[in-house]
């Protein structure tokens, strides 16, 4: 009987700790996604400036260079651009993406779609600059938030687990 109780208490403690770790990892993932997005948009900016390739081809090429969720987003956008307008494909894929970003991040990224493929090269580059500037601020905020909250959630998970174990003993 004591052995079963010990196993239940260990499971409660472990589960609580894992929940804390999972919550903490969200902050790290957001910062990484924003950094990857900035990198991808810098590549897009360079490609638009110097190669004059079609946008779907650019997005598919970038998806090969950038991994993870951001690479998947660029792959989906490139594929969808072959069927619909560039801006619409971008906005739809941003909305459906698995990126761990905030609503404000998504709205800023979707604003790029309003000019993507519908204006001249200079208009697209200016919009890319604006989005990159916004991403710089969001990356700073995400890194600060990560520093502040990551250890807090990890410790909170452990503390809550210990509290529950103590109450159940």
Domain boundaries, the chain: 2-168
76 φ, ψ (degrees, to nearest 5)? -60, -40
* Model confidence at 118: pLDDT above 80: no
pLDDT for res 1: 80
pLDDT band, residue 159 (cuts 50/70/90): very high
Alpha-carbon gap, residue 134 to 151, rounded angstroms? 26
pLDDT for res 155: 92
pLDDT for res 119: 66
Alpha-carbon gap, residue 23 to 150, rounded angstroms? 8
Query: What percent of the chain has a predicted confidence (pLDDT) above 90?
Result: 21
For the segment 71-113, what is each residue's pLDDT rounded down to a tens digit? Answer: 999 899 888 888 888 788 888 888 888 888 888 888 888 887 7
For the segment 14-31, what is each residue's pLDDT rounded down to a tens digit? Answer: 999 999 999 888 888 888
Q: How many CA atoms lie within 13 A of 12 on its CB side?
A: 17
Which residues, 6 or more positions from 36, have their beta carbon under 8 angstroms from its beta carbon? 66, 67, 68, 69, 70, 71
CB burial of residue 42 (10 Å; 0-12, 13-18, 19+): middle
Average pLDDT, the chain: 86
Q: What is the mean pLDDT of residues 111-134?
A: 77
pLDDT band, residue 163 (cuts 50/70/90): very high
Alpha-carbon gap, residue 64 to 1, rounded angstroms? 56
């Amino acid at each position: 009987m004591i052995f079963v109780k010990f196993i239940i208490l260990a499971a409660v403690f472990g589960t609580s700790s894992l929940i804390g770790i999972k919550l903490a990892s969200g902050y790290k993932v957001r910062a990484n996604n924003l950094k990857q997005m900035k990198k991808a948009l810098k590549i897009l900016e360079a490609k638009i400036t110097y190669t004059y390739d079609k946008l779907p081809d650019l997005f598919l090429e970038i998806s090969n260079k950038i991994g993870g969720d951001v690479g998947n987003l660029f792959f989906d956008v490139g594929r969808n651009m072959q069927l619909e307008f560039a801006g619409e494909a971008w906005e739809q894929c941003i909305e459906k993406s698995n990126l761990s970003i905030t609503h404000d991040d998504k709205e800023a990224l979707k604003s790029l779609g309003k000019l993507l493929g519908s204006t001249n090269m200079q208009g697209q580059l200016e919009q890319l600059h604006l989005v990159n500037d916004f991403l710089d601020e969001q990356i700073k905020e995400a890194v600060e938030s990560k520093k502040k909250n990551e250890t807090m959630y990890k410790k909170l998970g452990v503390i809550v687990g210990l509290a529950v174990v103590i109450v159940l003993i």
